[in-house]
Amino acid sequence: MDSDETQHLLPNGDTAWVLSTAAASENLGNLLRLYRSGNAEPLIFGDAGRPEAVIIPFEVWQALVETSTDAEGFDASYSVARHRLKNPGGPSVPLEDVAAELGWDLDDDTDDSEFRKPT
């Protein structure tokens, strides 16, 4: 029986941990609790140890959408995405490299105050 989690070597030498699709499905409730507690680590999952999808907190997704669809960045983002979709057999690209290519700063703080529950 395969492990639920597999190391995947990225082109830049970093390692991503890939959770099996079945294990990711079983742990969605736990992941949501982690996100609510402020732990915003992405969940990378796929089959056969190959990363195929990532689950991120909604506010992170929203910030990415806002950045990628602004008037100046949309055409570039669309072009990059279209190129990647036409060439799916290419090597895995680290998130940091994609962000740099799209002009995103992953270190920018995101104002998520409207999404937080009042204390």
Percent of the chain with pLDDT over 70: 81
Task: Over range 96-117, report the average pLDDT.
Answer: 75
pTM above 0.75, yes or no: no
| Residue 119 clears pLDDT 90, i.e. is over it | no
User: For the chain, where are the E strands, in sequence order?
Assistant: 5-9, 15-20, 43-46, 53-55
CA separation (Å) from 37 to 9, 64, 116, 117? 29, 21, 10, 11
Per-residue pLDDT at 95: 78
Residue 109 DSSP SS3 = coil
